[in-house]
Amino acid sequence: MPAPSDAIIEHFAAARRRKNLSSPYLAVYNPYGAVIAGLYPLTQHDATDANIVESLTEWRRRDSKWFFTQFEATPERTRNWILSSLLLDTTKILFLIRSAGGELYGHYGIRWAQGNVLELDNAIRGISSVPERLFHFVEITLLRWAFECQDVEKVIAQVFSDNIGATMMHRGVGLAAEREYEFDAAKYTGCDITSNGREFKRVRVLSISRGDFEAQDSRSADQAGTDHKAFARDRNEPT
Ligand SMILES: CC(C)(COP(=O)(O)OP(=O)(O)OC[C@H]1O[C@@H](n2cnc3c(N)ncnc32)[C@H](O)[C@@H]1OP(=O)(O)O)[C@@H](O)C(=O)NCCC(=O)NCCS
């Protein structure tokens, strides 16, 4: 697999380096320009926060059937994964999604897949009571951010073909089905599909190119009157 470009690595490193952890790295706006949530790259400090570790564990356990790798989630395992895998992996970022008051809504990850391709990854709505269409706007925020990185030409997502919620979420921001392939459980450590009682067999790959996203994003911004300059200002807050 080709190495990620310097631009992508630097983009990810900048998100991790930031010192100002009390304000979001990315603000999530609704079409009327109101901030409805913030995205906070998960940090080493978060691994010492029992509430965060327990929430991530509980959500992963609850929604495990939608993920490729199956395992018994425990707080200890989550903490170890954050410290010895996620935070050491320069190609991945997991964003916590929080309200302005700090309430944890869920999380959303992004990872460099190959070449100039980024993959949307590890999205979970942790609680039911979140702002309307939150994950739609989180995904738009992440796509804008990803395509701002000059080397990203395409963003993809991979979902089990029976995962309607995730498929609709991706379609809603413009990703289109590209292909499907047979899921190979043997590739994933600890993955035991049969014991999970599911019959999924296929993975759907959805994608959007930079050009398609930019055309669609400027159309919807015109319609909704979104202030792109304000958005950019907030994103480039000092780290
Ligand atoms: C993926 C996820 C974050 C999306 O969050 P969400 O957008 O808040 O929630 P929902 O899944 O309820 O809905 C997504 C869309 O699918 C639609 N939808 C959900 N189930 C549906 C069904 N059975 N039939 C038709 N439409 C459906 C919803 O109406 C919604 O559409 P809208 O945005 O136009 O209103 C959330 O479903 C989740 O946490 N899933 C479990 C973890 C997961 O699957 N992660 C992805 C792994 S690849």
pLDDT in tens, 69-104: 888 999 999 999 999 999 999 889 999 999 999 999
Within a domain: residue 63? yes
User: What is the CATH classification number for the domain harbouring 148?
Assistant: 3.40.630.30
- List C-alpha distances in Å: 234 to 59, 93, 109, 162: 30, 19, 20, 37
Separation of alpha carbons 239 and 236, rounded Å? 8
Domain that holds residue 126: 6-235
Number of domains present in the structure of the chain: 1
Task: State in Å: Cα 37 to ligand 1 middle.
Answer: 18
224 lines ligand 1 (CB under 6 A): no
> Does 137 reside within a domain?
yes
94 part of a folded domain:
yes
Q: Is 37 in the pocket of ligand 1 (CB under 6 A)?
A: no
Q: Is 216 contained in some domain? A: yes
| Nearest-CA residue for atom 48 of ligand 1 | 159
For the stretch 170-185, pLDDT in tens is 999 999 999 999 988 7
- Nearest residue to 15 via CA among 88, 70, 123, 92: 92
Is 201 part of a structural domain of the chain? yes
Residue 1 lies in a domain: no
Choose among 8, 232, 221: nearest CA to 113. Answer: 8
The pLDDT profile of the chain, 239 residues, written as one tens digit per residue, is 566 677 777 777 887 777 666 789 999 999 999 999 999 999 999 999 999 999 999 999 999 989 988 889 999 999 999 999 999 998 899 999 999 999 999 999 999 888 899 999 999 999 999 999 999 999 999 999 999 877 899 999 999 999 999 999 999 999 999 999 998 877 776 655 554 555 557 999 999 999 999 998 887 765 554 443 343 344 444 43
* CB 18, CB 25: distance < 8 Å: yes
Query: For ligand 1, atom 1, which residue shows the shortest CA distance?
Result: 166
